[in-house]
């Protein structure tokens, strides 16, 4: 029996004998080091908003479009939480729409990438309405401010201004009947 074990070791058939004819001690393999990427900071992020209606005029039955793009210069991805819009009436006696947060088009922006966070209309298919069915007319100037909300913090995307001309506008929905839904921005003051 002793000769069989020795013969098996000589032929390399038993794993316990060191197999393959390598009789030297084995060196344990060290795993490659794990690389930890630095998390993104606000300094790594930038955003820009653009609109074809910027510095222009739009009728109250026409939409206001906007695109918001986010650039991530960090070595790791960043999570987007939303795109916040706030409106301000600059002239004409109109009331602005309350702030609103849009769901972003993408959930994350990869390392060293740029992505579109928002691309669409700010208020649906129209930009203004008249309170209580009364006939409103005139022009109001608005300023829209946009920022991208991320897990790292808020990233300003910029502002743009535009004018709405009121003529033949739709009636604003009753805020109480619609669960507090806001009218588009142009609500002429009484």
CATH number for the domain that contains residue 149: 2.60.40.10
Q: Is residue 9 part of a domain?
A: no
Does the pTM of the predicted model rise above 0.85? Answer: no
Q: Is the pLDDT at 182 greater than 60, yes or no?
A: no
For residue 104, pLDDT beyond 80: yes
Mean pLDDT for 105-134 is 90
- pLDDT over threshold 50, residue 79: yes
* C-alpha distance from residue 63 to each of 9, 60, 127, 130 (Å): 84, 8, 5, 15
Domain contains 135: yes
Q: How many domains does the chain divide into?
A: 1
Q: Where does the pLDDT of residue 109 fall: very low under 50, low under 70, confident under 90, or very high at 90 and above?
A: very high
Q: DSSP string covering 69-113, please?
A: EEEE-SSS-EEEEEEEEEEEEEESSEEPPPPEEEPPS-SEE-TTE
Does a structural domain hold residue 117? yes
Evaluate whether 40 touches 108 at the Cβ level (below 8 Å): no
Tell me the residue range of the domain where 167 lies.
42-178
The better pLDDT of the pair 172, 102 is held by: 102
For residue 14, tell me if it sits in a domain.
Answer: no
- Give a yes or no: residue 13 inside a domain: no
Q: What is the pLDDT of residue 174?
A: 58
């Amino acid at each position: 029996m002793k000769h069989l074990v020795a013969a098996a070791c000589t032929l390399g058939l038993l794993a316990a004998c060191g197999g393959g004819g390598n009789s030297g001690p084995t060196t344990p393999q060290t795993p490659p080091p794990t690389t930890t990427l630095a998390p993104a900071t606000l300094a790594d992020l930038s955003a820009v908003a653009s609109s074809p209606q910027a510095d222009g005029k739009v009728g109250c039955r026409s939409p206001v479009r906007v695109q918001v793009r986010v650039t991530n210069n960090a070595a790791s991805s960043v999570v987007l939480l939303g795109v916040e819009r706030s409106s301000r009436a600059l002239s004409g006696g109109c009331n602005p729409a309350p702030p609103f947060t849009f769901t972003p088009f993408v959930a994350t922006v990869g390392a060293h990438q740029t992505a579109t966070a928002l691309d669409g209309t700010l208020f649906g298919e129209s930009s203004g309405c008249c309170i209580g069915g009364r006939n409103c007319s005139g022009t109001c100037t608005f300023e829209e401010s946009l920022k991208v909300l991320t897990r790292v913090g808020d990233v300003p995307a910029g502002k743009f201004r535009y004018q709405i001309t009121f003529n033949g506008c739709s009636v604003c929905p009753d805020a109480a009947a619609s669960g507090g839904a806001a009218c588009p921005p142009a609500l002429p003051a009484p």
